[in-house]
Amino acid sequence: MKAKFIFIAIVCLIANHTFGQSELINELNDNIIEVKTLSPDSDFSDLNELHHILRDKRIIGLGEATHATSEFFKYKHRLIKYLVTKENFKVFIIEGDFAGSQAMNDYVVHGKGTIRDGFIGMGYGIWCREEFVDLVEWMKEYNVNKTIEDRIKFYGCDINNEVVTAKKVKKYLNETGKLNETLKDGLNWVINQDYRKKLSKEDESFREQFLIELNDAFKSIKDENSGELKFIKHCKRELEQIFELIFADKKTHIILRDKFMAENIEWIYNTENDQKSIFWAHNEHVKNDKAKSNQKPTGYYLKEKFDDKYYSFGFGFNEGKVGGYNGKEKRYDSFEVPAMSEKKLTDAVFSLCMYPNFILDLKSANKNEMISNFLNTDFYQRSIGDGFHPKGTKGRHFRRGKLIDKYDGLIFIRNSNPPTQLK
């Protein structure tokens, strides 16, 4: 009798869980916007619903749960075409080096150099995909015969190609006659990557003197109307950021990186006369997380500065393959990512929706009581960087939190495939 009672209780629990989940899926189905195609070459009729969501936004964050999903790259290309041609967004900012990405801007805006120069300048191999080449070539083609004001500008906001930054500052100071021995030694210290050796107290003292003389040198340059000087001054600022990161411990380095990325985005936005901008980076950077810890993402600072004018899209997927660096084989590879239980993973819940790929505006969906309970509950979300570890811990591939705290909108792609790596 007791065993029969336990069996009935278990059946009831399963039934209640299934019923509740079905109710949630039904409510989600009423709120999602179907992604009918990933192709950048299709018309934008299925994106018309985005206009009322994004019409007053100044910066759009486009995240990604993995740096190596072909569908993310393709759909971002499509969204960027829409934002440029229909919503008048003309500044593109990527998780790539600020100074180094100028080479890609020269290619996209002025047709100078090569796309290879641009990739080298950006400083990350994660963008060296054929899908990203398609986007860059479209930007270049779009800019043909446009006035300089109406062209898409290409920027990086990260601090990851210090050699290029130091070389640009050194060249400018030399041409203006401001390059003394202390500045030359300090810039060569970065260019030659001597900081990779064990740092000493003498290095700390040297850094302080170098930064003092660097600031004095730029203060003495008076050509304030020069566009070149405005750019090189921010390269100087990136160099200061580099020195701070070099001497920071690992935990502080992570905190500072997002803070500096946000600072660089704000500078770009102001320099481009408040032009509508697109920010492409990992979910962990674009999210406007309330960040109870000291480790605040870039999107947190953008939300603090721009409030509702900043809108972040998180990107998620349920299963499939992703690209990533294979540390064991020392090469880029593809890895199988299995589906997980919907009891733990938001992506698994979304995979049950009627459309395989869709957009969900979290602010409007949060008005629905059942969806709000889901969005305000701690769940895991996939979070894969430039590498994948099949036997890795949850901390390597997942982040736990409330979706409503992380993003303003979500773009879900049910199945992932790796992008095509450039040779």
Contacts for 30 with CB less than 8 Å, ≥ 6 apart: none
The pLDDT value recorded for residue 199 is 85
pLDDT averaged over the chain? 91
- Spatial separation of the C-alpha atoms in residues 404 and 409, rounded to whole Å: 9
Ranges of beta strands (E only) in 75-161 are 91-97, 153-158
What are the structural domains, with CATH classification, of the chain? 48-86+282-423 (3.40.1660.10), 90-275 (no CATH)
Residue 84 identity (one-letter amino acid): V
Residue 55 has pLDDT above 50, yes or no: yes
| Residue 202 to residue 298: CA distance in whole angstroms | 33
Contact 258, 297 (CB under 8 A): yes
- What is the average per-residue pLDDT within 237-260? 95
Any bridge partners for residue 279, and if so which? 61, 93
Q: How confident is the model at residue 18 (pLDDT cuts 50, 70, 90)?
A: very low
pLDDT at 13 over 70: no
In the predicted structure, residue 404 carries a pLDDT above the cut 70: yes
User: Rounded to whole angstroms, what are the CA distances from 253 to 93, 173, 259?
Assistant: 21, 28, 10
Tens digit of each residue's pLDDT (9 = 90 or more) over 323-358: 988 777 778 888 999 988 877 899 999 999 999 999
Lowest mean pLDDT among 93-107, 196-210, 215-229, 404-418: 215-229
For residue 7, pLDDT over 70 is answered with no
The residue behind tokens 């898409």 is 152
Q: What token pair was written down for 344?
A: 């733990």
Residues 398, 390: Cα–Cα separation, whole Å: 13
How far is Cα 313 from Cα 408, in angstroms, rounded to an integer? Answer: 6
Q: Tell me the pLDDT tens digit for each residue of 264-276.
A: 999 999 999 999 9
139, with CB counted inside 10 A (0-12, 13-18, 19+), is buried
Looking at the predicted structure, is the pLDDT value of residue 14 above 50?
A: no
- At residue 327, the pLDDT reads 75
Question: pLDDT above 70 covers what percent of the chain?
Answer: 93
- Coil, strand, or helix at residue 92? strand
Residue 203 confidence (pLDDT): 87
- Give the pLDDT confidence score for residue 294 in this predicted structure: 81
pLDDT at residue 209 is higher than 80: yes
pLDDT band at 395 (very low <50, low <70, confident <90, very high): low
pLDDT tens-place string over residues 136-148? 999 999 999 999 9
Q: Please check whether residue 365 is in contact with residue 375, taking contact to mean a CB–CB distance below 8 angstroms.
A: yes
| pLDDT tens track for 57-102 | 999 999 999 999 999 999 999 999 999 999 999 999 999 999 999 9
Whether pLDDT at 187 is above 60: yes
Which pLDDT value is given to residue 224?
A: 61
How far is Cα 229 from Cα 39, in angstroms, rounded to an integer? Answer: 40
Checking phi first, is residue 43 left (phi over 0); if not, alpha (psi -120 to 50) or beta? beta
Are 96 and 156 in contact by the 8 Å Cβ rule? The answer is yes
Q: Residues 6 or more apart from 164 whose CB is under 8 A from it?
A: 97, 99, 100, 121, 123
